Structure 1
Amino acid sequence: MTRASLEKQPKDVAAMFDGVAEKYDLTNDVLSLGQTRLWRRAVGQALDVRPGERVLDLGAGTATSSLPFAAAGAEVVPCDFSLGMLREGKKRHPELPLTAGDATRLPFADGVFDAVTISFALRNVQDTDAALREMRRVTRPGGRLVICEFSHPTYRPFRTVYTEYLMRALPPVATKVSSNPDAYVYLAESIRAWPDQQALGRRLKDAGWVRVAWRNLTGGIVALHRGTNP
């Protein structure tokens, strides 16, 4: 099965996620020791969607991450570039308007969303800066962005333990529960190569977002970054 490289060629990344779609949510729950649900809850609180708002959930995969926004009364559009993920999501959530799209060339008009969010997918985009600019383009003035992404633990001894877990424990565990364990080797490597909290914050500002801030979850394993479209 396909494994992407850190060059993040879009076709390779999409094919890799196509291959893990069926068990992706289960594998993530196992590998995160159940933390994914807490992280999703934090995203929902940070985005604070209101009934009637239009929300873009980018990198939504099977649309599991979109469900809380729909439950809050928002008009949520789950968007992903893995057709395998979208097919699996459509089987599970046929009521949602799952949409195929590349984060660097979104198939939406300017300023049509009140809020945009992306969880654990930005680091898989080939051109991060282009994606941040595209997200701002489709967000209305005053609209908001929340990014949930793996980051760098702030406590140095814990960071060492975490890095060892990623590269040594994660692939064997993935072998037990995933249909494509090699994909999780790539995912571990992509987490290690991802910029830290401050660096990602600077990139949001460079893309034109204002009132940029972030907070750490689970000791910095994950960080929530927020921004507003001026």
Structure 2
Amino acid sequence: MMNAQTVRATLEKDPREVASMFDGVARRYDITNTVLSFGQDRAWRKATRRALRLQPGEVVLDLAAGTGVSTVELAKSGATVVAADFSQGMLQAGRWRKVPMVAGDALHLPFADSVFDAVTISFGLRNVADIDAALAELRRVTKPGGRLVVCEFSAPVVPVLRTGYMEYLMKALPAVARSVSSNPDAYVYLAESIRAWPDQGELAVKIANAGWSGVQWRNLTGGIVALHRATC
């Protein structure tokens, strides 16, 4: 049997491979992300919360929530936020956080239609096997007029930044991951999946094609990350 600590998913994104890979990085996932992003992950979480414009009393889905660190940030708004992830290892690693957690697949969410005032997914849409189906499933569980925010790696808009970023992804990031991650091979997949990901405009088209309206995006950190916002 393959040891979960050595699992590296392929870009084919077999759900079992991806879940096993995230199980393998769960123990040091949050600290690894902070190191690899030079602390920018905290600012990205705050920007996602603000983009959702959450109100006390609203019910929100935080999909691909991992250990729930993003869910805790969203809950600062006073909304009720449910963390969902398909990696049992991630949920287990974040079990001490005071947020509701549910095991769930982005392609088959365990929720009824039109139950959330807002839905969000941060750095997780890139890992699903069918992006279009996941966006449609998120729309299914959102109330009419509800909001979507996708926070995801994207394409730097300044050429010199883009060149340096790609060099970092393919050379420095795996090296840094070896010193801090519980599964460094997973971060080779991370780098490759970012390179293969649609740019800001292409993702906006996918979101609109899934039935969302008023799609807009805003670049963070020069386009290394983009926030896409839309309405159900």
Offset of residue 158 of structure 1: 1.4
| Identical pairs, percent | 65
Cα distance in 2 for residues equivalent to 1:68 and 1:101: 20
How far apart are 1:96 and its partner, in Å? 1.8
Question: Do structure 1's residue 72 and structure 2's residue 69 form an aligned pair?
Answer: no
The answer on 1:181 being equivalent to 2:195 is no
Say yes or no: does 1:112 pair with 2:145: no
Give the corresponding residue for 2:32: 27
2:59 to 54, 58, 79: 54
Aligned to 2:213: 210
Matches within 5 A, 1:1-230: 1-90=6-95, 92-93=96-97, 95-229=98-232
2 CA distance for matches of 1:66 and 1:157? 34
- TM-score of the superposed pair, with normalisation by structure 1: 0.98
* Offset, 1:68: 2.2
Partner amino acid, structure 2, of 1:89:
G
Q: Structure 1 regions of 5+ residues with no counterpart? A: none
TM, length-normalised to structure 2: 0.97
Query: Per-residue deviation at 1:72?
Result: 1.9
Q: Please, which runs of 5 or more residues in structure 2 have no aligned partner?
A: 1-5
Cα RMSD, aligned residues only = 0.6
State the AA in 2 paired with 1:29. T
Q: Distance in 1 between matches of 2:141 and 2:80?
A: 15
Partner of 1:198, secondary structure, is: helix
Quote the offset at 1:200 in angstroms: 0.2
- The one-letter amino acid of 2:61's match is L
State the aligned residue count.
227
